[in-house]
A and B are shown apart, each in its own frame.
Chain A
Amino acid sequence: MRAGKLLALAAACLALGLGQAARATEVSELFQGKQVPPPNQRIQVQRQGDIVVATAVPSAAETREIFGVDLYKKNVQPVWIQLENRRNVPVLLTPMGVDQAYFTPRETANRGREVSVGARAQDFEKRGHLRLAVRANSIQSGYIFTRVDEGTKSFNVDIVSEDDAQLMTFFVPVPGLKIDHYEKEWDKLFPEDQIRDVSLPELVAELESMPCCVVDAKGKNRGDPLNLVLIGDNLDLYYAFLRAGWDETETIHGASLWKTAASALTGGLYRYSPVSALYVFGRAQDAAFQRARTSIHERNHLRIWMTPLRYEGKPVWIGQISRDIGVRLTWKTITTHKIDPDVDETREFLLEDLAYAQSLKGYGYVAGVGAASYDAPRGNLTGDPYFTDGKRLVLWIAEEPTGLDEIEVMVLTSPAESGQ
C-alpha cells in the first residue's frame, strides 16, 4: 500500500540547490553515475530520509529540441529524474512506478522513427534510465519515457529497496495549456463576512437548501443536478483528481475549439477539450476536470464551485458530474455530448475513482437535488433527460493516502434517507 506522504507542495517551494557551494561539496562525495542535464528550470525536489529526488518535464517543444524528434506526437513524454542515494545500500528506481506502460528507450526510438527517419536508439539509451538499480552513495540522472499528459504531469517516483519503499508523488506543470482555475483568486470569491464555519448539522441543513441544479448564463433555465459536495483544500482536491487520472480543462478559445471539433468528427482522443460554462451562485464553474476513456465520446465531466461554507476549516464545494455516452447534433451548439441519464451511476463512479486514488477519507449522502424517476425524468440545459434518487454525495477528501479499508461511511441524515 502507498504509504508515502504527499510532499509536492513543500517540494514546489524548494530550489534544486545544486548551485550552492556547500551542497556541491556534499554531492561530490557521492559516486557520480550517469549525468544527464535537466531539460529546463522547472525542477521539483523531494527528500525522504537519505533519498533526494529531483524531476523536470520538458514541454513538446523542449522535447523536440533535446531529442530532435516530435515524441509528443507519438504519445511519448520524457520525464527527467535525478536520484541522490545517500544510503549504504543500492536502491531501485522503477520506471513502472512513473508510468505502468512506460516505454523502453528502444521503444521510444522505434516510435521516433515513425516521425523522423534519423532517430537512433543510442540517443535515447544514453539519456535514459536503463537499469533499475542505483549504487549506494551515488547520484545519477536520466529520462524515463512515459505516456503524454499535458497541463500538469502527475506521476509517482518509487524508490524501493528491501523492506522499504519511498513513494513520492510529483505534480509538474507543463506549458502549453491555459487552465481556467490557475487564474482564479480563491480568497476573493466571497466577501470575508460571508464565509462561515459550520457544524455538521448546520452543514447538512445548508447543503440541503442549496440550489438543485446549475443554470444557464441568464440564470433562468435549470440544467444538470448539483449532486456532489466535496470538502477539502483547493490543492488537496486538485491533487486528488490528478492522481485519479482526471485532466484539467482548457478555457474555451479558438485553437482548442478546432481540436475538439476535429476529434468529435474522428472520435480521436483530445483529452483536454474545453467545457462550456454552467452557472451556480451567479458565476461559471471555478474549476472543471474531465477523465477520458477511449474516445471523446466517452468521458466524464465534472464542474465545481466553491461555497462560502467551511467545515473544520476546509472549504466546501458543490459540483456536478456527468458521463458522456455519445455525441448528438443540436441547433444551438452544433454538436453536444449526450449524457448518461443515470446520473447517480456517474456520481457513484466518482466515489470509487477517488477511493482507488486513495484520496477519500469519508462519505455520506444528503438531500437537495430532488428525486426524478426513470419514467418521469427531468431535462438538462441541452435537453438531455436524467433520473436520480435526489441525493447529494458528500465526499471528504483525504490529505494523506487512505486505503479503501479506512474510508468512513458517515450517516448525515436519518439512516433511511442517507442511503446507509
Chain B
Amino acid sequence: MVTPPWRSALLLPLLVLLTACAIRPYQGQQLAQAGFLDRVVVQEIGGITISAAVPDAEETEALTGLDLYAQGIQPVWLRVENNSPTRSRLALWSIDRDYFSPIEVAYMNRRPYSRQGYDAMQRWFYQNALPRFTESGGVSEGLVFTHLRPGTKGFNLTVFANKTAHDFTFFVPLPGFVPDFMEVDFTALYADSELRDLAVGELRPVLENELGCCATDASGELDGAPLNTVLIGTGQAVRRAMLRGEWDEMRSDDPRRIWAQAQNFQGRPPDAVFSKSRRDGDERIQLLLWMSPWQLQGTPVWVGTAAYLTVNHGLGGPAELDAMLRDVKFLRRFAQESVTADLDSAQRFLLQNIWYNGSLALTGNVRGMPPVTVDNPRVGFGGVAYFTDGFRLVAVLSEEPRALDETQFVYDVVLDELLSGENP
C-alpha cells in the first residue's frame, strides 16, 4: 500500500517533535558509593544477616537520576549474607506485596530518554535490583522498589528455604524526617515523685478513678477529646504496632495535626500522633497518645484518643459547621450523621488493627465516662459533637508477632455491660 503524501507531511513534524523530546542520555550512579549506605541497619536470624538502608528523595534522585519519590516509589537497599547451610530465598512480596519490578520503574520513566538512554536506564535498574536467591556462604545485594510511605521506613521481610522461614522487622530512619515523638524528652516529662509503678490489680482503679474522662484545652479547664484508649507497652512496641498496622508517623508541624494539637493531657499536646488514610478516599483515622505517669510492672502506660476525621462530612463546610454547632437541632443531626462523632467505631477499628497485625497480647475494657447518647451528644473537642458508650479500650502490646488466637481477653462485668447494650 502506498502512503498518501499528505500523511508523510503530517508525520514529519510530529516525528521531529517526538525525537526532540526524547534525546536525553541516561546516567545512573554507582550504588556501592552511595552515601545513604552509612545509615545501614543490620539484623541476623538463623545464620542470615540482612542489612537495610533507605535513600531519601534527594539521594534517590542522585542515585537513579529520577525523582522516584514524586511517583510514589521508594527504593530500599538490602544486603543478604547467607551463612546458613542452604540456599535462601528472600520474598520481595513480604516487603511490599505490590512492589514495582525494576524494569517497570525504568519503563514508567522512559519518555524523556533517547533509545540508547532508555536501554542504559533499563540495564541499570535490572543490574542493581536485589536478586531473590543467595547461595549458602554467599552474599547478594541490590534495590527493591516499594511504595512510598511517609516517615520512618518500616517493613517486614521473610527469608525462606526448604520448610523453614525467618521473619525480620526493620525500621530504617530517614534523614530530614523527625517524627513528633522523637522531639519529646520522655525522661523529663515527670518528676520521680509523680511516677507510679502499678501492680496488675492496681491499674483498673487508676484508669477508672484517677484518669480524667477527656483531654483538656491548654488551660486544663475545658474538656476536649475523650481518652478512649489505653495502650501498655514500651515506646518501641507502640511504634512497631503502628507500623505493622500501616499507620503513618507525623512530624510535630504536620498540618494534619491541627485538631490533635489542641488537645492536652497534663498540660501538653500529644506526645505522638499516628494517622491512617484510605487509598481511595479522604477518610482518615487518628490516634493521639500521651505517656502517662503510670507504669504497669515497669512498662509504660499510654493514654489517648482514637477518632475518625473526615474532611467532607457532606454536612457543610467548617464555617457553616462552627455556626451551626451552636444550634441544638443541628448538633443532634451532626451527631447522627458525622463519622467523627462515632468514637466507638474508631476504637473498635484500632483494636482490630492492632490485633490483626499481631501486636495484641491482652485486651479488655474499663469505664472512662458515663454513656453519651446520640440524641443527647456532648460537644467536646474543637466544637465537634460526639457520643460513646463510655468505655476505654485497654490493650497490652506484644513485642513479638502473635497469632489471632494468642490474645488474652479480660472478660469481666464490663463486657457484660457492653453486650447488654446491644439492640436486638
Residues of chain A having any CB pair with chain B under 8 Å: 1, 32-35, 75, 89-90, 94-97, 100-101, 104-107, 109-111, 113-114, 120-122, 130-133, 135, 140, 158, 160-165, 167, 293-294, 298, 323, 325-326, 338, 340-342, 345-346, 348-349, 352-353, 355-356, 374, 403-409, 419-420
Contact = CB atoms under 8 A, between A and B. Distances in A.
A130 to B, nearest CB: 8
Nearest to A338: B107
Interface stretch (B24-32, B37-45, B94-102, B256-264): B94-102
A94 B352 contact: yes
B266 interface: no
B199 to A, nearest CB: 22
A135 B348 contact: no
> Majority SS of interface residues in chain A?
mixed
Nearest to B338: A106
Given A323-B101, A345-B101, A95 B352 contact: yes
Contact of B98 (A130, A294, A348): A294
A110 B352 contact: no
Given A94-B352, A352-B92, A340 B409 contact: no
A342 B92 CA distance: 15
Contact of A133 (B310, B314, B418): B418
Nearest to A164: B405
Contact of B87 (A1, A325, A420): A420
Interface in B192-247: none
A75 B280 contact: yes
A110 B283 contact: yes
25 contacts: A33-B422, A96-B355, A96-B356, A97-B356, A106-B345, A110-B339, A120-B337, A131-B348, A131-B419, A132-B352, A135-B419, A140-B422, A325-B103, A325-B107, A338-B107, A340-B103, A341-B103, A342-B103, A352-B93, A355-B93, A355-B160, A356-B91, A405-B165, A408-B162, A419-B133
Given A94-B356, A162-B407, A326-B108, 5 more contacts: A105-B345, A114-B312, A325-B101, A404-B165, A405-B165
A356 B348 contact: no
A294 B228 CA distance: 35
Contacts of B324: none
B342 interface: yes
B149 to A, nearest CB: 14
Interface in B376-424: 403-405, 407-409, 411, 415, 418-419, 422-424
Contacts of B418: 131, 133
Contacts of B176: none
Interface string B300-340: 00000000101011100000000000000000000011110
Given A100-B356, A110-B313, A121-B337, A406 B404 contact: no
Contacts of B158: 404
A161 B409 CA distance: 8
B126 interface: yes
B405 A110 contact: no
A344 B95 CA distance: 19
A96 B246 CA distance: 14
A107 B422 contact: no
A22 B367 CA distance: 42
Given A1-B403, A131-B422, A326-B108, A407 B160 contact: yes
A356 B165 contact: no
Nearest to B351: A132
A75 B126 CA distance: 36
A121 B336 contact: yes
A160 B161 contact: no
A341 B422 CA distance: 57
Contact of A107 (B123, B283, B409): B283
B97 A353 contact: yes
Interface residues of B, number: 59
A106 B342 contact: yes
Contacts of B310: 107, 110
B411 to A, nearest CB: 7
B353 interface: yes
B203 to A, nearest CB: 19
Given A1-B403, A110-B314, A326-B107, A406 B163 contact: yes
Contacts of A101: 278
Contacts of A90: 411, 415, 419
Given A106-B345, A405-B163, A346 B415 contact: no
Contacts of A158: 404
B104 A325 contact: yes
A110 B338 CA distance: 8
B92 A349 contact: yes
A340 B351 CA distance: 40
A353 B93 contact: yes
Contacts of A163: 405
Contacts of B161: 409
A228 B424 CA distance: 53
Contacts of B403: 1, 165
A325 B94 CA distance: 21
Contacts of B108: 325-326
Contact of A96 (B160, B281, B352): B352
A283 B132 CA distance: 35
Contacts of A406: 163
A165 B356 contact: no
Contacts of B348: 131-132
A102 to B, nearest CB: 8
A232 B247 CA distance: 38
Nearest to B160: A404
Given A32-B424, A163-B405, A104 B93 contact: no
Task: Return the 7 tightest CB-CB contacts between A and B, nearest first.
Answer: A352-B93, A113-B314, A96-B352, A165-B405, A405-B165, A325-B104, A409-B162
A382 to B, nearest CB: 15
Contacts of B337: 106, 109-110, 120-121
Contacts of A133: 415, 418-419, 422
A293 B87 CA distance: 30
B177 interface: no
A406 B158 CA distance: 14
A301 B45 CA distance: 35
Contact of A298 (B102, B104, B308, B355): B104
A107 B308 contact: yes
Most A Cβ at <10 Å: residue of B107, B133, B278, B353: B107
Nearest to A419: B133
Nearest to A420: B87
B7 to A, nearest CB: 14
Interface in B146-188: 158, 160-165
B349 interface: yes
A259 B270 CA distance: 47
A106 B339 contact: yes
Nearest to A410: B162
Contacts of A348: 132
A400 to B, nearest CB: 16
Contacts of A338: 107
Interface string B45-71: 000000000000000000000000000
Given A96-B356, A107-B283, A160 B342 contact: no
A91 B98 CA distance: 34
Most A Cβ at <10 Å: residue of B94, B310, B314, B415: B314
